[in-house]
Amino acid sequence: MFETTIAGSLPKPAWLAEPDKLWAPWRLEGAALDAAKRDATLLALKEQEDAGIDIVGDGEQARQHFVHGFLERVEGIDFANKVEMGIRADRYKAMVPQVVGPVRLKGRVHAFEAQVARAHTRKKLKFTLPGPMTISDTIADRHYGDKVKMAMAFAELLNQEAKALEQDGVDVVQFDEPAFNVFMDEVTDWGIPALERAAAGLKCTTAVHICYGYGIKANIDWKATLGSEWRQYERIFPAIAKSGIRQVSLECRNSKVPLELISLLEGKDVLVGAIDVASDKVETPEQVAEVAAAAMKHVPAARIQLCTNCGMAPMRRDIAYAKLAALAQGAALARQRYA
């Protein structure tokens, strides 16, 4: 009860990539970069274990960005000629690569860091991949001419990599779908079917992380336009509940999402975000336990895990790990009180 885990990314050491940034440029190249990614992955695991996290991840130390880290290993994409595109329904502009032919994996995508992580922790291991809808929203299409067709093609590739990760010994494969609260109708029409395609045949635990984005300015400005109650999830949770995905990760701490909406996730494990990644203020264990208590009113305690609201990549390292320690201590407190 109240197992703890992270949504995905953790800040990278300053010797690996420029700190406090998304899309941070690498500090090294070639074999030196590979060695540094490996070392950073080990450190991230050790820090999570020492903080007391139950289901650990690689902290996405070996990828620059959660979407483009995957796309770099896909054939049919032109990375040399990026174009500017409004993403997440034009919330912000990004320079994105273009799909110029049928997409196909060049080989394994995350074998290196998954195998390094598996070899160096006995804890349950979670691994994150971008979801097909979010990929389709983060790339320009010059080939398929149809967003759904393109998303299904990516779902196929994600499925190949997810099955290989399962073979590597990963316990949980999580797909990140921040696009799920932007294109509400499309989520039920094809977003969830594409997600299920990506997860098809997996025997390990499957999860989806949905959220209102990293704590960067464009997201904070966008959230200010959403009103005092964010009810977007009300439209998609019933469809997710019917899907084959077993866990749903979402932000709850300091969130304007009415917490009762998680009761719509019938039968799912809910990874309740109890750590705010948009604030540098470290939570107290008491505050984490309060989130657990609030969630228990809507979902049986046995189906609750305590998690971060979102990835922590752009955060200061010392703050991020202090927050993880608070998460684990808060979970222990909640177990003591409510078990």
CB closer to Zn ion out of 271 and 310: 310
CB of 76 to Zn ion, least distance (A): 27
Closer CB to Zn ion, 140 or 179, in the complex: 179
Choice from 211, 306, 324, 325 touching Zn ion (CB under 5 A)? 211
Q: Which is nearer to Zn ion, 168 or 251 (CB)?
A: 251
Number of residues that bind Zn ion (CB under 5 A): 2
Distance CA 238, CA 192 (A): 11
Task: Report how far residue 128's alpha carbon sits from residue 110's, in angstroms, rounded to the nearest whole number.
Answer: 10
C-beta of 272: minimal distance to Zn ion in Å? 14
Cα 173 to chain center, whole Å?
A: 10
| Residues 256-295, mask of contacts with Zn ion (x by CB under 5 A) | ----------------------------------------
Instruction: Name every residue whose Cβ is closer than 8 Å to that of residue 175 and which is 6 or more positions away in sequence.
Output: 128, 129, 130, 131, 132, 158, 195, 198, 199, 206, 207, 208, 209, 245
Span interacting with Zn ion, options 29-37, 112-120, 255-263, 303-311, rule CB under 5 A: 303-311
Q: How far is CA 201 from the centre of its chain?
A: 21
Q: Which of 243, 240, 233 is nearest to 202 (CA)?
A: 243
Which of 15-23, 124-132, 134-142, 204-212 is the region at the interface with Zn ion (rule: CB under 5 A)?
A: 204-212
Residue 153 interacting with Zn ion (CB under 5 A) = no
Nearer to Zn ion, 103 or 211 (CB): 211
* Distance (Å, whole) CA 22 – CA 278: 13
Pick 80 or 224: Cβ nearer Zn ion: 224
DSSP secondary structure code for residue 205 in this structure: E
Query: Pattern of binders to Zn ion over 114-133, x per CB under 5 A?
Result: --------------------
- State how beta strands 172-176 and 205-209 pair: parallel
Compute the distance between CA of residue 159 and CA of residue 151 in angstroms, rounded to an integer. 12
Q: Compute the least distance from the CB of residue 146 to Zn ion, in Å.
A: 27
Among 48-56, 115-123, 210-218, 320-328, the segment contacting Zn ion (CB under 5 A): 210-218
Query: If DSSP codes are grouped into helix, strand and coil, which group holds residue 184?
Result: helix
Which of 305, 279, 277 lies closest to 291 in space, CA to CA?
305
In this complex, which beta carbon is closest to Zn ion, that of residue 2 or of residue 212?
A: 212
Per the rule left: phi > 0, alpha: psi between -120 and 50, beta: everything else, 269 is: beta
309 vs 329, which CB is nearer to Zn ion? 309
> What is the DSSP secondary-structure string of 285-306?
HHHHHHHHHHHHTTS-GGGEEE
Q: What's the closest the beta carbon of residue 123 comes to Zn ion, in angstroms?
A: 22
Q: What SS3 class is residue 82?
A: strand
List, in sequence order, every residue forming a beta bridge with 242; answer none if it has no partner: none
Judged by CB under 5 A, which stretch of 48-56, 91-99, 211-219, 265-273 contacts Zn ion?
Answer: 211-219
User: Could you tell me the two tokens for 219?
Assistant: 């997201």
Question: Measured from the CB of residue 58, what is the shortest distance to Zn ion in angstroms?
Answer: 16
Q: Which is nearer to Zn ion, 134 or 136 (CB)?
A: 134
Nearest approach in angstroms of CB 324 to Zn ion is 16
* Position 310 contacts Zn ion (CB under 5 A): yes
- Interface residues with Zn ion (CB under 5 A) are 211, 310
